[in-house]
Amino acid sequence: VHYYLDNIQTKAHLNAFVEVYKDSALAQAAAVDEKIAAGKGGRLAGMVIGIKDVLVYKDHEVNASSKILKGFVSQFTATAVQRLIDEDAIIIGRLNCDEFGMGSSNENSVHGKVLNATDESRVPGGSSGGSAVAVQANLCTVSLGTDTGGSVRQPAAFTGVIGIKPTYSRVSRWGLIAYASSFDTIGVFSRNVKDNALVMEIMAGPDNFDSTASKKPVPNYSELLHFDKRAKIAYLKETLASLALQPEIKENTVALLEKLKQEGHQVEEVQFPLLKYVLPTYYILTTAEASSNLSRFDGVKYGYRTPNAHNLESMYKKTRSEGFGEEVKRRIMLGAFVLSASYYDAYFTKAQKVRRLIKEYTENLLSKYDYIILPTTPSTAFKFGEHSNDPVAMYLEDLYTVQASVSGVPSLSLPNGTDKEGLPIGVQIMANSFKEAELYAFANYLT
């Protein structure tokens, strides 16, 4: 804990941590030391973990990087976080992110932007940018992020670390501040596969507080890392043909596929004609869900309340106008629009149907192949401000990550070399629902 506290202080300018729990982390560490000495340490005894500012932790402030949650202190702890604590992990602090998880660069945060430790003039990715940089810059062993449309995998790729989005419903969402409830997942950032697998197996599993959490038993992923089979691997023609794809990312992805072929795996090109529909589907459905989820922030129940109101209605309006950032307001308006009576069928219902097609197509491919390999991102980390005035350009950053989110399947991003400027490149591996063990074993083979 002292080692990480020192690093956090030296690298404070990266702005990864919003709050460091110095006293409680040291107290937790002392208690864990005693348990270890008595031979009673848990499975995560001494592992130092940072958590994204959207996961609640009893008696600690949580803001979802939004002004609207300023001063809000949680009365309970998220199930995922509690399970780590129960195994003697040490929670060292909370990590910066895009407001309510909306963004791909960590520039939309009331706490300010996070710097990429490889090149401080560039974004770390988002929305879990602080969680990625915390692992990248050695500020904790492992961190938790959330991934609704790529928010763990994309920042993992931009910072050269490992990041997983589990199957939807694999990890309880109790205590995760909702963005889009039918997409939200809690994921893990780490430097090696084993730590990632261990943390995931402890967080995952049924939970009485979240009826959507799967009741399927959780295998011990960290003990199933041995990989010795001949894998069937598909890559999607359209993803590599995309004009948006940076040439070096394509080269490194193709080189990896070639290497796998030479090692005796079956590698085949398949079509994914639905690629052009994944982003519109994702952004219609997630903004709809967000507009509904975020209606609870009205100045009455949580955090910020405007001091400038003169009656109830102006209190609602002013609190929300002053409390939410620009991107969040854009999405609430988009979501309210696609859910409005005259456009509901044209956008929302249609997008749900397309979601079903994408999900069935993806699951069908993954029943024939063990893995789908594709780039994690179309580009490496971009400069601050590069996409700030163009929301559509920012949304395009999610081109390759949203397929797994729309389909609910697990997906992991691994470092796959660098571009000519030395910026990390990520490669993404998808497997069928609840195949996390297979995903981790393959990732272990590749690293």
- Smallest distance, Å, CB 156 to ligand GLN? 12
Residue selected from 118, 141, 143, 151 as contacting ligand GLN according to rule CB under 6 A? 151
Distance CA 114, CA 96 (A): 7
- Smallest distance, Å, CB 211 to ligand GLN? 22
Residues 6 or more apart from 12 whose CB is under 8 A from it?
none
Binding to ligand GLN (CB under 6 A) within 384-423 occurs at 398
Distance CA 382, CA 384 (A): 7
Based on the shown chain and the rule CB under 6 A, indicate whether residue 102 belongs to the binding site for ligand GLN: yes
Residue written as tokens 């995931």?
200
Sketch the per residue contact string, 212 through 241, with ligand GLN: x for CB under 6 A, - otherwise.
------------------------------
Distance CA 55, CA 63 (A): 9
Sketch the per residue contact string, 269 through 288, with ligand GLN: x for CB under 6 A, - otherwise.
-----------------x--
Tell whether omega for the bond before 314 is within 30 degrees of 0, i.e. cis: no
- The residue nearest ligand GLN at its CB is 151
Residue selected from 103, 175, 323, 378 as contacting ligand GLN according to rule CB under 6 A? 103
Pairing state of beta strands 162-165 and 48-52? unpaired
Distance CA 379, CA 424 (A): 10
- Smallest distance, Å, CB 219 to ligand GLN? 25
Residue selected from 129, 149, 299, 375 as contacting ligand GLN according to rule CB under 6 A? 149
Binding to ligand GLN (CB under 6 A) within 285-324 occurs at 286
Q: Using CB under 6 A, which of the segments 58-66, 147-155, 349-357, 369-377 binds ligand GLN?
A: 147-155
Residue selected from 141, 148, 169, 380 as contacting ligand GLN according to rule CB under 6 A? 148
H-assigned helices in 174-325 = 193-203, 237-241, 247-262, 275-293, 312-323
- Smallest distance, Å, CB 172 to ligand GLN? 17
Residues 6 or more apart from 64 whose CB is under 8 A from it?
53, 54, 97, 99, 100, 101, 177
Distance CA 165, CA 148 (A): 9
423 secondary structure, DSSP code:
-
Residue written as tokens 């069908």?
364
Residues 6 or more apart from 99 whose CB is under 8 A from it?
64, 65, 66, 108, 109, 110, 324, 325, 327, 328
**Active-site hit among 65, 66, 109, 151:** 151
Based on the shown chain and the rule CB under 6 A, indicate whether residue 207 belongs to the binding site for ligand GLN: no
Distance CA 24, CA 278 (A): 43
Q: Using CB under 6 A, which of the segments 97-105, 215-223, 229-237, 316-324 binds ligand GLN?
A: 97-105
Based on the shown chain and the rule CB under 6 A, indicate whether residue 179 belongs to the binding site for ligand GLN: yes
Q: Are 88 and 35 in contact (CB under 8 A)?
A: yes
- The pair phi, psi for residue 353, each rounded to 5°, is -65, -40
- Smallest distance, Å, CB 278 to ligand GLN? 12
Distance CA 99, CA 327 (A): 8
Q: Is 367 in the active site? A: no
- The pair phi, psi for residue 415, each rounded to 5°, is -60, 140
- Smallest distance, Å, CB 245 to ligand GLN? 18
How many residues bind to ligand GLN according to rule CB under 6 A?
Answer: 14
- Smallest distance, Å, CB 152 to ligand GLN? 7
**Active-site hit among 52, 113, 165, 435:** 52
Q: Is 405 in the active site? A: no
Q: Is 151 in the active site? A: yes
Q: Using CB under 6 A, which of the segments 19-27, 143-151, 190-198, 203-211 binds ligand GLN?
A: 143-151
**Active-site hit among 104, 105, 127, 411:** 127
Residue selected from 96, 104, 109, 196 as contacting ligand GLN according to rule CB under 6 A? 104
Residues 6 or more apart from 296 whose CB is under 8 A from it?
302
- Smallest distance, Å, CB 287 to ligand GLN? 9
User: Which residues here bind ligand GLN, judged by CB under 6 A?
Assistant: 101-104, 127, 146-151, 179, 286, 398
Residues designated as active site? 52, 127, 151
